[in-house]
Structure 1
C-alpha cells in the first residue's frame, strides 16, 4: 500500500490504486478532514509540476519521510527484483530516502551505487530516469562520489544516455554529470574519458534550453580543471556563437565558460584575434545583471595581454565610463570584477592618465557595502526566500554564491573577508591610477 504520509511503498505488491484504499478507509472511519490528495483528480496541484515520466500510483505533492533501516535494506534488495513494478516502486521510494542525509549514508554503505549503475540501461525509460536522479543526490556526498567514480564505465554510460536517449533522460544524466563535476578530484577522473568534452560540444547547440545550461556548467567545471582539451575542440568559437543566444541564462553561463578558457595563454591569444573585449562591451549594458557580471568576469582575463590593452585604448572613453559606472553598483561581485579590469587597463599610460584626470574622484567615492548589508549572494534577498547564507547544502540553484578565499569549499561564505578584498582592491586601483613611471 502507498502511504501518503511517507511517500513510499510499504507493500511489495499492490493490486489496485492505493489512493482508493486510503479514501475508502477515511470514509469508513467517518474522517471529516479528508485528504484532498486522495481525490481524483488531485486538488491543489499545478499542471507544471506533472512529470512526463512518472511511476504508477505516486502523488508527487506529498512530503518525504523515512521508514527505518530494515526498509532501506529491502529497497536495496528490490532494485534487482525480477518484477518490473516492484523494481520501479523501490526506485521511487529510494529517491525519497536519499534526500535524507542519514539514510543516504546508510545506503551508500550498502553499495546501492553499484546496484543503480547495473540497471542504468534498463528497458523502461522511467527506471533510467530514476537511476540518474538517485545518482545525482548521492553525488552530493563525498562518499557517494567516491563510490560512483569507482565504477570505471559510469562516465561512458552517462554520455551514452546523453547522446542517444530521450530528453527527460538526457536532462537527468546531465544533472548527474554536473553534480559529479563540482568536485575537482572528480573532474580529473571524468577527464580520463577521451570524448566527454568533444561530445558535450557536439550536442550543446541542438538541445533544449534547460539541458544546454547543464552541459555548459559541466564544461565550465571541466575547463577549470583543464582548458586545453576544450580549446582543441573549438570551444572558444562555440562560446562566441552562444553569446548571440536569446536566453540570458545561456549567454551568462557561456561567458563563465569563456572565462575559464581565457585563463590559458592560447585562450588569451584567441581573445585578441577575435577582439573579445569589444564583443563584450555590447553586453555591459544588458538588462540582465547576470550577463553583466559574467561579461566583466571574462574581461578580467581578456585584458591581460599587451595587445588587448592597446586595443582598449581606441575606445578608452566609452569603456572606462561603463566600468566606472558599474563599480558604483551595490553588488560586491560586480565591483570586484570591474576594479580588476580597470587595474589591468592601467598598464596602458593613456588609459591611466585619462582615469586620473576625469575619473579618480568618482572611483574614490565608490561605496562598498558592510557585512550587515550583504548576504553573500549576487541577488537581493527577498522576504521568505531561502537564499543568503547557505551552510548545509552545496549551493542554491540560480544564485551566485561566493567561494572561500582558499580551496573550493562552498559550505561557508566568508563575507567579511570578501568585502575586505573589495576594499583592498579599491585602494590598489587608486594606487595604480596615481602611479608614475621613473621618467615622470
Structure 2
C-alpha cells in the first residue's frame, strides 16, 4: 500500500491520506506492531527522501534517440511538439546530450537555445527546471553564451523565476545567472536590466542558503563591472549584515562581494565609517579557511586609507601576530599573498612599521614559499572537499600561447611559476616596507 515513509511517487498524488490507508490495512491484518509514521504527529524521515519535482505521468523519461546527428535533429524537433510528454522526454534527452561537447556544439548550431528560452515560462515546473539546467551547461561554451545573450529577454525571464517561483526552480535559475555572469561581456548585457542588482539584493536577505550563495557570486561579478550601481542599492550595508550569518559560505561570499565594493572611493569611506578593520579581526581566527581567505582579501582594500591605519594601530600587537602567523602557511599560497599585502599596507604607519621591525622581521624572513615541484595541483579546501586544478581566483585561465597571441610576448602570464614568483616578490616588498625609512642615512 501507499506508505508515507517510503520513496513512492504514487502516494504523493493519491487523493486519500496515505496514513489512513496504512492504518486501515494494519487493522485489517491485525498487526500488533506500532508504526510511528502513521500517528500524529508522524515520525517522518528526512524530507530530502521525497523528490520535490517529479514527473508522475512519465514512465520513460528520455526520448527515443536515433543514431548520430539525425537523432539530435529529431530531439530538437520534438521540443516544438504540442504534447507535454514528448517535450519532457526531449528535454531530458537534451540535458544528457549537452554534457558531450560535440553534441552540445551541434545543438547550439541548430538554434536549440532560442527554442528552450521560449520554454522558460512554461506552466510545467519540471520544464522550467530542465531548461535552466540546460542553459547552465550551454553557458559554459563561448558560442552558447553568445547565442544566449543575443536574446536579452532571458535576463528578465530568469529574474522572474528567481523572484516568484518555487525554491527548486529559483536555485536552477540562480545557477544559470551565475554561470552567465562569469563572462564580462555577458555582465554588460545583464546590467542593462534596470532591476537586476536591486532584485538580487532583496533575495539574499531571506532566501535559502544554497540560493543565497549563488546570488552572492553573481553580485560579485556584476559589482566588478559596475560598482556605482551596487553602492547606490545599499549593497555595502546588506553585505555587512550577512557577516553575522552562521553559514561560512554566505560569510565568505559577502566578503568577496564587499571586496569589489571597497575598490570604489565611496566603498573605502563606508569601510572606515563602519570600522571594517576592527570587524574583520575576529574572522581571522575562524575555523573555516575560506572565511579567513575572504577576510584577508577584503582587508587588502580596507587598510588602504589613513584612517584605517590609525585604527589598526590600536590593536597592533594582536593584528600583526595573526597576519604573520597566517603568512607561514605554504600550502595556501593565496592566503600568504593576501596576508603579506595587508601587512605592506599597514607598514605605512610608522608605529606599526617599528613594531614589525622589532618583533616580526626575523619571522617574515623565514616565511616559506613553496616551489613549483611542491605544487600538488590543488587549491584551497572548500566545504565539498578539494577543488582540483590550478585555481588562482581569476576570471579565466587561458593557455600561454593564447595570451601571447592576444596581448603580445610581454604579457603577464599566470601559471605556477609566475604565481609563486609573485609571492616571493611580495615577500621582498614586505621586507622593504618593514625597513623603509622616511629619511636617507
TM-score by length of 2: 0.81
Kept in 2: contact 1:66–1:97 (CA 8 A)? no
Separation (CA, whole Å) in 1 of partners of 2:259 and 2:54: 39
| 2:430 counterpart of 1:429 | yes
Separation (CA, whole Å) in 1 of partners of 2:189 and 2:337: 33
Kept in 2: contact 1:303–1:345 (CA 8 A)? yes
Greater Rg over alpha carbons, structure: 2
How far residue 227 of structure 1 moved from its aligned partner, in angstroms, is 1.3
| 2:407 counterpart of 1:420 | no
Separation (CA, whole Å) in 2 of partners of 1:99 and 1:312: 50
How far residue 380 of structure 1 moved from its aligned partner, in angstroms, is 5.9
SS in 2 for 1:148: helix
Separation (CA, whole Å) in 2 of partners of 1:228 and 1:212: 22
Equivalence for 1:136: 136
| 2:404 counterpart of 1:402 | no
Equivalence for 1:57: 59
Separation (CA, whole Å) in 1 of partners of 2:315 and 2:377: 34
Separation (CA, whole Å) in 2 of partners of 1:230 and 1:375: 38
SS in 2 for 1:246: coil
How far residue 49 of structure 1 moved from its aligned partner, in angstroms, is 8.2
Equivalence for 1:365: 366
Q: Structure 2 unaligned runs (5+)?
A: 1-45, 400-413
How far residue 199 of structure 1 moved from its aligned partner, in angstroms, is 0.2
Equivalence for 1:218: 218
Separation (CA, whole Å) in 1 of partners of 2:74 and 2:425: 57
How far residue 378 of structure 1 moved from its aligned partner, in angstroms, is 3.2
Deviations 1:53-105 (A, max 9, x none): 23433689xxxx99421111111111110000000000010000111100000
Equivalence for 1:203: 203
Kept in 2: contact 1:284–1:296 (CA 8 A)? yes
State the number of aligned residues.
Answer: 375
SS in 1 for 2:348: coil
How far residue 52 of structure 1 moved from its aligned partner, in angstroms, is 2.4
Q: CA RMSD in A?
A: 2.1
Q: Is the alpha carbon distance of 1:185 and 1:290 closer, same or farther for their aligned partners in structure 2, counting shifts above 3 Å?
A: same
Q: Structure 1 unaligned runs (5+)?
A: 1-45, 391-400
Separation (CA, whole Å) in 2 of partners of 1:136 and 1:119: 15
Equivalence for 1:153: 153
Deviations 1:320-364 (A, max 9, x none): 111001001131110000000000011111110110011000000
Deviations 1:22-58 (A, max 9, x none): xxxxxxxxxxxxxxxxxxxxxxxx9968742234336
Alignment of 1:220-235 (within 5 A): 220-235=220-235
Q: Is the alpha carbon distance of 1:58 and 1:228 closer, same or farther for their aligned partners in structure 2, counting shifts above 3 Å?
A: farther
Equivalence for 2:241: 241
Alignment of 1:99-114 (within 5 A): 99-114=99-114
TM-score by length of 1: 0.81
Separation (CA, whole Å) in 2 of partners of 1:234 and 1:279: 19
Equivalence for 1:397: none
Kept in 2: contact 1:375–1:388 (CA 8 A)? no
Kept in 2: contact 1:376–1:402 (CA 8 A)? no
Q: Is the alpha carbon distance of 1:439 and 1:49 closer, same or farther for their aligned partners in structure 2, counting shifts above 3 Å?
A: farther
